[in-house]
Chain A
């Protein structure tokens, strides 16, 4: 499988590298002392996502009930929230999902990114839905990306993603359009 010759050729060419040798720097960025939730909320607003801070699961269940009443296709992976669709065999069968409801593992205040890692779901679940809903424990918000990497354990990770807001593009004359190929909206529910 691996073509040893090209690997060897590349590695041996690297022996002649003249790149100036640098030691790995110590990454030691002090955390800005500020309340995390307001900052997280502000970041989410910047990326056109909505944060629901109060009444967590109740508020979410109410919202989902409305969505179901409006005949939306809802798939939930959050305990205590029931949608109307089961996890299908093939990821392609999720193409008509209106709402995916997923648990987030960790939120980052500085940029609104939420780490989503869900081995029991198809990987496309967070992307193929028209709209995305993520729940996040309010204890699981950290200040910045350095903290996030420290807190997360990637040893068992197969696939995971930081999601910051709905998908967007500005490829036509720099005009921001929310809703490119991934979800067109994002709501985040804080739970206790």
Chain B
């Protein structure tokens, strides 16, 4: 991106705007927390849940640490099955390859099912500029596509919109009744509208949940059936996958399929888990394997672990910051804890790495044990090393480091803070407490520090 363009706003700034409508924030937070609760119920019904998390983590780490072997094995088995395999170093190459295939077949309309990778590559505008109509077919994706927005969540992309807003949008774009907002009515209308798209598409494209090395096939999971409706009508099908999607075999897939949907929405499994291992008779099947920065992340032992992610969205649902700042605050296609872990390096405002309290709830729910809080702390460290701390933090963080490293200095500073909190008017102090203090009362300071209290009460014993 050229520096001449205006910089996006920081996470804190965007979150501040999102938080102006308190009722909406509460509603958003509650919707996500409901998903978290469903996840808890589903997980607690599987006695071997923790074993599955550990297995999932090991399978993914094993695959990542033998990636070149598995990718090569996957490719040769795909070719043996009649699948055409392409490799793309980056988003640009991915989009070119896709366009070349579509152009060769004179595709005018492409139906697409949810794929965060094609979002990451900004494929839709690329194809649209070249005269290809792209229809997102997952209901949530279609809603935000019609609204001209980006997904705000990786599993429920339109979670930020209320049903009245969807109703108004559908009224304008697909002719539903004015004022109608019943989810069943709107879903049926979308079903009818998208049926026409499926039936008239020249090609279909999906993401990949798992690529199975020893089979030379891919697994695609959806609840709506949009991937399978799309892929199985036209003769041409394309599937994009990050290099991190490959796993050894179907036994590995079994482990991940048991946790993916349970952790995402509390379902036992997605409605459809489809395995595509060959083109349909007379058809063509293409798989595009994309790097786009992943091999670079693998060079860092800690960042590498973020590639264990299977995109269940569980860490977003549990995150107190995500729930109250919304998916559009993160300056990256993927929001929430995993979005920071894999995307902080793309955040020009260098602020998203701080959109985290390091509470660790995300790491606790992750089905493949991605150590999200550790990775986010590491992203901060990398920002500090690259001298790209956000404004403010750049000035005081080095001092904080020195201060905290020195026990006497810290104790003195804390005494000053306690005294100020008690004797100065809070409106004088509030500017120093940052965004945190803007809508909060500052705490009552205790008379003594914990250190003094401990020495006095317990120290002599």
Chain A residues with CB under 8 Å of chain B are: 1-3, 6-7, 9-11, 13-25, 27, 29-30, 32, 43, 46-47, 91-92, 95, 108, 110-113, 122-124, 126-128, 144-146, 148-150, 152, 154, 157-175, 177, 179-183
Across the interface, do A181 and B225 meet the contact criterion of CB distance under 8 Å?
Answer: yes
B48 within 8 A of A: yes
Across the interface, do B243 and A10 meet the contact criterion of CB distance under 8 Å?
Answer: yes
B93 within 8 A of A: yes
Across the interface, do B89 and A149 meet the contact criterion of CB distance under 8 Å?
Answer: no
Other A-B contacts than A24-B62, A154-B275, A168-B224, 20 sampled, CB-CB below 8 A, are A6-B93, A10-B289, A13-B296, A14-B298, A18-B299, A19-B305, A25-B54, A27-B254, A124-B228, A124-B229, A161-B228, A162-B257, A163-B271, A164-B270, A164-B273, A170-B265, A171-B143, A172-B166, A174-B156, A181-B191
List of B residues within 8 angstroms of A126 by Cβ: 228
Across the interface, do A149 and B253 meet the contact criterion of CB distance under 8 Å?
Answer: yes
Can you name 23 A-B pairs with beta carbons within 8 Å? A3-B97, A7-B75, A10-B87, A13-B291, A14-B243, A17-B298, A22-B62, A47-B267, A110-B46, A113-B273, A123-B280, A124-B233, A126-B228, A127-B228, A158-B278, A159-B275, A166-B271, A167-B225, A168-B224, A169-B223, A171-B156, A172-B166, A180-B223
Smallest CB separation, A33 vs chain B (Å):
12
List of B residues within 8 angstroms of A13 by Cβ: 291, 295-296
A122 CA / B280 CA spacing, docked (Å): 9
List of A residues within 8 angstroms of B184 by Cβ: 175, 177
Q: In this complex, what residue of B is CB-closest to A94? A: B233
Q: In this complex, what residue of B is CB-closest to A43? A: B268
List of A residues within 8 angstroms of B87 by Cβ: 2-3, 6-7, 10
How would residues 238 to 276 of chain B score, 1 for a CB under 8 Å from any chain A CB and 0 otherwise? 000001000010111111011000000101111111111
List of A residues within 8 angstroms of B55 by Cβ: 25, 27, 29
Q: In this complex, what residue of B is CB-closest to A122? A: B232
Instruction: Pick the residue among B34, B81, B84, B224 that contacts A182 (CB under 8 A).
Output: B224
List of B residues within 8 angstroms of A10 by Cβ: 71, 87, 89, 243, 289, 291, 295
List of B residues within 8 angstroms of A159 by Cβ: 274-278, 280
List of A residues within 8 angstroms of B194 by Cβ: 181
Instruction: Pick the residue among B198, B273, B295 that contacts A161 (CB under 8 A).
Output: B273
List of B residues within 8 angstroms of A124 by Cβ: 228-229, 232-233
Q: In this complex, what residue of B is CB-closest to A150? A: B251
List of B residues within 8 angstroms of A92 by Cβ: 199, 233
Report B128-176 residues with CB < 8 Å from chain A CB.
Answer: 137-140, 143, 156-159, 162-163, 166
In the A-B complex, the 9 residue pairs with the smallest Cβ-Cβ separation, listed nearest first, are A182-B225, A180-B224, A111-B268, A171-B140, A124-B232, A13-B295, A175-B183, A158-B278, A161-B274
Q: In this complex, what residue of A is CB-closest to B249? A: A149
Chain B residues with CB under 8 Å of chain A are: 31, 34-35, 46-48, 51-52, 54-55, 58-59, 61-62, 64-68, 71-72, 75, 81, 84-89, 93, 97, 137-140, 143, 156-159, 162-163, 166, 183-184, 186-188, 191, 194-195, 198-199, 215, 217, 223-226, 228-229, 231-233, 243, 248, 250-255, 257-258, 265, 267-278, 280, 289, 291, 295-296, 298-301, 304-305, 307
A17 CA / B51 CA spacing, docked (Å): 27
Across the interface, do B223 and A95 meet the contact criterion of CB distance under 8 Å?
Answer: no
List of B residues within 8 angstroms of A128 by Cβ: 229, 232-233
Smallest CB separation, A107 vs chain B (Å):
12
Smallest CB separation, A37 vs chain B (Å):
16
Across the interface, do A27 and B225 meet the contact criterion of CB distance under 8 Å?
Answer: no
Instruction: Pick the residue among A16, A95, A174 that contacts B34 (CB under 8 A).
Output: A174
Across the interface, do B156 and A165 meet the contact criterion of CB distance under 8 Å?
Answer: no
Q: In this complex, what residue of A is CB-closest to B162? A: A173
Q: In this complex, what residue of A is CB-closest to B139? A: A171
List of A residues within 8 angstroms of B48 by Cβ: 29-30
Across the interface, do A127 and B298 meet the contact criterion of CB distance under 8 Å?
Answer: no
A153 CA / B84 CA spacing, docked (Å): 23
Smallest CB separation, A21 vs chain B (Å):
4
List of B residues within 8 angstroms of A11 by Cβ: 68, 71-72
List of A residues within 8 angstroms of B198 by Cβ: 181
A152 CA / B111 CA spacing, docked (Å): 31
List of A residues within 8 angstroms of B267 by Cβ: 47
List of A residues within 8 angstroms of B52 by Cβ: 29
Q: In this complex, what residue of B is CB-closest to A90? A: B233
Q: A29-B51, A113-B269 are in contact. Are A20 and B223 (CB under 8 A)?
A: no
A134 CA / B89 CA spacing, docked (Å): 43
Across the interface, do A23 and B47 meet the contact criterion of CB distance under 8 Å?
Answer: no
Q: A10-B243, A159-B275 are in contact. Are A22 and B268 (CB under 8 A)?
A: no
Q: In this complex, what residue of B is CB-closest to A3? A: B87
List of B residues within 8 angstroms of A113 by Cβ: 268-269, 273
A17 CA / B198 CA spacing, docked (Å): 41
Q: A92-B233, A159-B280 are in contact. Are A110 and B268 (CB under 8 A)?
A: yes
Q: In this complex, what residue of A is CB-closest to B66? A: A21
A23 CA / B55 CA spacing, docked (Å): 11
Across the interface, do A25 and B268 meet the contact criterion of CB distance under 8 Å?
Answer: no
Across the interface, do B163 and A173 meet the contact criterion of CB distance under 8 Å?
Answer: yes
Smallest CB separation, A179 vs chain B (Å):
7
List of A residues within 8 angstroms of B68 by Cβ: 11, 14-15
List of B residues within 8 angstroms of A166 by Cβ: 271
Across the interface, do A18 and B304 meet the contact criterion of CB distance under 8 Å?
Answer: yes
Most buried by B among A22, A24, A180: A180
A1 CA / B79 CA spacing, docked (Å): 11
List of A residues within 8 angstroms of B183 by Cβ: 172-173, 175, 177
Q: A18-B300, A159-B276 are in contact. Are A182 and B228 (CB under 8 A)?
A: yes
Across the interface, do A171 and B138 meet the contact criterion of CB distance under 8 Å?
Answer: yes
List of A residues within 8 angstroms of B301 by Cβ: 18-20
Q: In this complex, what residue of A is CB-closest to B141? A: A171
List of A residues within 8 angstroms of B65 by Cβ: 17, 19-22
Across the interface, do B59 and A24 meet the contact criterion of CB distance under 8 Å?
Answer: yes
